[in-house]
Amino acid sequence: MDADALLKSRRSVRRYRQDPIPLATLREIVEVARYAPSGGNRQPWEVILVHEPEVVREVFLDVAWHPAVGAPPEGKRPVAYVVVISEGKPRVSDCASLVTYMLLAAHARGIGTCWIGSIKTARLAEALQIPDDYSIVFVVSLGYPDERFEAYENAADTSVTLEGGVVRVPKRPVEAILHENTFRR
Ligand SMILES: Cc1cc2nc3c(=O)[nH]c(=O)nc-3n(C[C@H](O)[C@H](O)[C@H](O)COP(=O)(O)O)c2cc1C
């Protein structure tokens, strides 16, 4: 897959097959993503790779899913998570950069992901024994995709919908976002 096709075909996946992802592959995703850009090259991120089924079940209790799609039922839940943390205050932009790289590294390996910002952080910090001087910034869920989805162009409405079992994801057309040289084209 070329880079453009990879970028355009990645979708948030919230239903997964239950086949485990090889641990080496999960580690590779983190290994690749650490090349992401960060302010001043500070790389203020650390990650907790959660793959033991017992801990995976704990994390599921502390994350929320897009209401249009809903939480995955038993048997379709993520098989792993990456919990992205930063020391001190949450380094949101830098951690977002890392997450973007992880999503694409996973997608390139046929692994579906969902970027999760809606987190019960106090509960998750306790479950994962994260020290008080760290912030939980994002969670990424992972698993082999078991969901149908499509992206389409829509300038007026950016609402994600579930239609006939297909997650439909509108994307704003380039004309709606692109200015050239000055704001007033
Ligand atoms: C900062 C951020 C936070 C997000 N938080 C959640 C979340 O808590 N739960 C969820 O199901 N999806 C979450 N998403 C995924 C978005 O819903 C998804 O990216 C969006 O609907 C576009 O779909 P696509 O990823 O398939 O292009 C988040 C995405 C971003 C960038």
Atom of ligand 1 nearest to the CA of 69: 11
**Beta-carbon neighbour count of residue 30 at 10 Å?**
17
Contact 11, 151 (CB under 8 A): yes
Q: Which helix (H) or strand (E) holds 105?
A: helix 92-108
Contact 162, 68 (CB under 8 A): yes
Per-residue model confidence as pLDDT tens digits over 38-90: 999 999 999 999 999 999 999 999 999 999 999 999 999 999 999 999 999 99
Contact 84, 95 (CB under 8 A): yes
Per-residue model confidence as pLDDT tens digits over 138-153: 999 999 999 999 999 9
Task: Give the distance (Å) from ligand 1 centre to CA of residue 116.
Answer: 6
Task: Give the distance (Å) from ligand 1 centre to CA of residue 67.
Answer: 11
Residue 117 Cβ inside 6 Å of ligand 1? The answer reads yes
Pick the CATH number of 3-146 from 3.30.9.10, 3.10.450.50, 1.10.260.40, 3.40.109.10: 3.40.109.10
Task: Give the distance (Å) from ligand 1 centre to CA of residue 114.
Answer: 7
Task: Give the distance (Å) from ligand 1 centre to CA of residue 118.
Answer: 9
Report pTM. 0.98
Strands 148-153 and 134-143: unpaired
Contact 123, 67 (CB under 8 A): no
Per-residue model confidence as pLDDT tens digits over 97-130: 999 999 999 999 999 999 999 999 999 999 999 9
- Please name the residue that has the structure tokens 């580690």: 27
- Please determine, for residue 182, whether its predicted confidence score (pLDDT) is greater than 90: yes
Atom of ligand 1 nearest to the CA of 63: 8
Task: Give the distance (Å) from ligand 1 centre to CA of residue 141.
Answer: 11
Q: 116-123 long-range contacts, Cβ below 8 Å, gap at least 24?
A: 116/63, 116/64, 116/65, 116/140, 116/141, 118/63, 118/64, 118/65, 119/62, 119/63, 119/64, 120/61, 120/62, 120/63, 121/62, 123/61, 123/62
Residue 71 Cβ inside 6 Å of ligand 1? The answer reads no
